[in-house]
A = this chain, B = another copy of it.
Amino acid sequence: MPTEAQLQDYLAYLRFPSISADPSRRPDLEACARWLARKLGAMGFEARVCATDGNPAVLARRSSARRGAPTLLIYGHYDVQPVDPLALWRDPPFAPVVRDGFVYARGATDNKGQTLAHLLGTEAWLAAGHSLPVNLIYLVEGDEEIGSPHLGAFLRERAAELACDGILVSDTSMIGPGRPAITTGLRGIACLDLTVQGPATDVHSGVFGGAIANPAVELARLLAALHAPTGEVAVPGFYDAVRPASAEERQGWRDLGTVNADLLRGSGAPALAGEAAYSAIERTWIRPTAEVNGLTAGYQGPGSKTIIPATASAKLSFRLVPDQDPDDIAAKVKHFLCDRASRAVRVSVAYDHGGQPYHANPDTPLARAVRAALAAVFGRAPVLVREGLSIPVVAAFKAVLGRDTLLVGLGLPDCGAHGPNESFPLDHLDRGIELHQEILRRLTA
């Protein structure tokens, strides 16, 4: 279990309502960044809160005493997802509570708990009187949950200062409790807003119903057309750039066995669904998707309101795999939707943001040290997996700094990231702190 001081740091960090999607939370994000910089400063780092065109980024560096020591950059994000629907939270999302060995709060896993485990690991390492075997850079940003729109520019502007030999990120999941993993692939993303406009205002469905198109019906038609009956995405050219996984990779994943059932249990859905030719984990790891993240139209209050709504809109996101390109997919989707739209409505498609998919080499010196450290801490060699989520910054690191990112998740598949009642096991905070020191120990040797 973590020490009382470590736990208090964690709870303090979780109390900042640092929702990057909500512009009114800007002061909370700034306060959270200052808290982090103060913490790193107290650990002997040269730590700054750096302005960006979005929320500030925290950048901290502490050099190794060893001449010519390699540099390790640890990346995380202090911003979090929105909290609605708030009514489904058992406790207020920014008043963290500890219950049965878990901490419940927005950001508990994604990404405050995982980032802080590294920080507290460095703190413990230094407190024990060890010296750093590597120059250590912490970069913790505040725009990850809205697609890191300004981090590329930030990396380019400070490329010299951020030059490193490898990057470590803990923003992914383990296979399950006690089953460590290193993630070699991530899905990318393309987010779009689709709006269907019909009458100029909401109109009476008795007076106009039957004679004009209903935007909510037209929206449903467009969304229903996104998938073929087989579950595949029906947008022409959508799969053109998909690189198939090797037979060897797919065999490795078949050995994971219970992951399918775990995944299902974690969601509470009545049954698994998706492309029949792939296992459940393959559907989330190596297959692209089309999802509707939100729907808005007409009257949503109690009772009924007999209108034809003026507009109906959907938030869409497409998870992408190597070598799909978000801009290319966004253009194909936009063309597909506009092409199918009825002339009796006006359809607009806005491309919100995109992130590249990623695939990395797990056999670098840093990767070997991390794999050995994971095996030591968890008593079990990590499995080489992929993850279905998107971390746009990983592609940016590759493009700007020319380095691979090692993804060492400490979360659990059912931790509720992005949903209500997000949680993180205190044991994983503790093992994360230990893991960080094991990595430093192995890099010392």
Considering the complex, give the chain B residue whose CB is closest to the CB of A259: B211
Considering the complex, give the chain B residue whose CB is closest to the CB of A227: B217
**In the complex, what distance in Å separates the CA atom of A207 from the CA atom of B269?**
14
A203 touching B418 in the complex, CB below 8 Å, given contacts A217-B291, A227-B217: yes
Output the least CB separation between A395 and chain B (Å): 14
User: Is A257 positioned at the interface, with any CB of B under 8 Å from its CB?
Assistant: no
Partner of A200, one of B203, B268, B319: B268
Indicate with 1 or 0, residue by residue over A259-282, a CB within 8 angstroms of chain B CB atoms. 000011011111111110000110
Q: Which residues of B contact A82 (CB under 8 A)?
A: 299, 301, 305
User: Is A366 positioned at the interface, with any CB of B under 8 Å from its CB?
Assistant: no
Q: Which residues of B contact A300 (CB under 8 A)?
A: 294-296, 315
Stretch in contact with the other chain, from A93-101, A158-166, A238-246, A306-314: A306-314
| CB pair B307 A293 closer than 8 Å | yes
Output the least CB separation between A350 and chain B (Å): 11
Output the least CB separation between A387 and chain B (Å): 7
| CB pair A211 B274 closer than 8 Å | yes
User: Is A378 positioned at the interface, with any CB of B under 8 Å from its CB?
Assistant: no
A220 touching B315 in the complex, CB below 8 Å, given contacts A208-B267, A273-B342, A346-B270: no
| CB pair B146 A304 closer than 8 Å | yes
Indicate with 1 or 0, residue by residue over A171-182, a CB within 8 angstroms of chain B CB atoms. 001000000000
User: Is A352 positioned at the interface, with any CB of B under 8 Å from its CB?
Assistant: yes
| CB pair B200 A302 closer than 8 Å | no
| CB pair A301 B419 closer than 8 Å | no
Q: Which residues of B contact A203 (CB under 8 A)?
A: 266-267, 416, 418-419
| CB pair B305 A298 closer than 8 Å | no
Interface centre among A189, A210, A417 (most CB of B within 10 A): A210
| CB pair A388 B292 closer than 8 Å | no
A299 touching B343 in the complex, CB below 8 Å, given contacts A146-B304, A147-B304, A202-B420: no
| CB pair B207 A84 closer than 8 Å | no
**In the complex, what distance in Å separates the CA atom of A227 from the CA atom of B206?**
18
Interface centre among A82, A263, A264, A420 (most CB of B within 10 A): A82
Q: Which residues of B contact A293 (CB under 8 A)?
A: 205, 216, 298-299, 304-309
Partner of A317, one of B146, B220, B287, B304: B304
Output the least CB separation between A265 and chain B (Å): 10
19 contacts between A and B (CB under 8 A): A22-B301, A146-B304, A200-B269, A202-B419, A203-B418, A205-B293, A206-B389, A207-B413, A211-B263, A211-B284, A217-B224, A219-B295, A270-B344, A270-B346, A292-B297, A293-B307, A293-B309, A294-B297, A295-B295
9 pairs of A and B residues whose beta carbons are closest in the complex: A206-B389, A200-B268, A220-B223, A224-B224, A216-B292, A210-B283, A273-B344, A294-B298, A295-B297
